[in-house]
Every structure is written in structure tokens, then in C-alpha cells.
């Protein structure tokens, strides 16, 4: 649980850092032309869109990994319980 919390905090810190607002070459050209035209709102909205597109796949994969881990942990517990019952039944014979 501590590791998961650490990874979530690390992801949030890296996602919030303003130095990581990268843009592709075409996006940079669009932003430069709109900023020189006096419309700086386009640049900030474009950066938010890029971060949104960056975060969505990571959230989906993280959710699937968490559900898979939780399910496998439940299955492992069931297997241990069944093995214990089997040992007890065999020891009584």
C-alpha cells in the first residue's frame, strides 16, 4: 500500500510540474502564432489538453492493474483456504 501511495504522489508531482508542459512541433508553431497574435489562452488550453491525453492511458492501465491484483489476491486466499481444508481432511483419515 505504501508503494502505491508513493507512485500516486510521484505521478501527481511529475504531472503538475510546469517544466513538463511539452508540445510537438506543430503544436508549438500554433501556440507561437496565437501568442504573438495576443491570444495566450490557447497555449494554456493546449497544454491542459496534452496533459489530459497523457494521463488517460496511464489511469486506464493503472485501474486494470489494480483490479487484476485485487482479484488475484482473493483467488490466492481461496486457494490457501482450500489447501488447508484438504490437509485437515487428509490428516483425519
Q: Concatenated DSSP letters for 7-47? A: HHHHHHHHHH-GGG----HHHHHHHHHHHHTT-THHHHHHH
Q: What is the pLDDT of residue 6?
A: 81
Maximum Cα–Cα distance across the chain: 88
Single pTM value for the model: 0.48
Contacts of 58 (CB under 8 A, 6+ apart): 11
Q: What is the pLDDT of residue 17?
A: 60
* Straight-line distance from the first to the last Cα atom of the chain, in angstroms, rounded to the nearest whole number: 42
pLDDT tens across the length of the chain (93 residues): 788 888 888 777 666 665 555 556 777 777 777 777 676 677 777 777 778 888 888 999 999 999 999 999 988 888 898 888 888 888 887
Task: Say if residues 30 and 46 touch (Cβ distance below 8 Å).
Answer: yes
Amino acid at each position: 500500500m505504501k508503494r502505491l501511495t508513493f507512485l500516486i504522489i510521484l505521478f501527481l508531482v511529475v504531472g503538475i510540474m510546469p517544466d513538463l508542459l511539452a508540445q510537438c512541433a506543430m503544436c508549438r508553431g500554433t501556440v507561437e502564432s496565437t501568442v504573438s497574435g495576443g491570444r495566450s489562452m490557447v497555449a494554456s488550453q493546449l497544454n491542459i489538453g496534452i496533459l489530459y491525453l497523457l494521463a488517460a492511458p496511464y489511469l486506464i492501465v493503472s485501474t486494470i492493474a489494480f483490479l487484476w491484483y485485487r482479484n488475484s489476491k482473493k483467488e490466492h486466499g481461496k486457494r490457501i483456504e482450500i489447501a488447508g481444508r484438504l490437509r485437515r481432511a487428509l490428516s483425519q483419515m
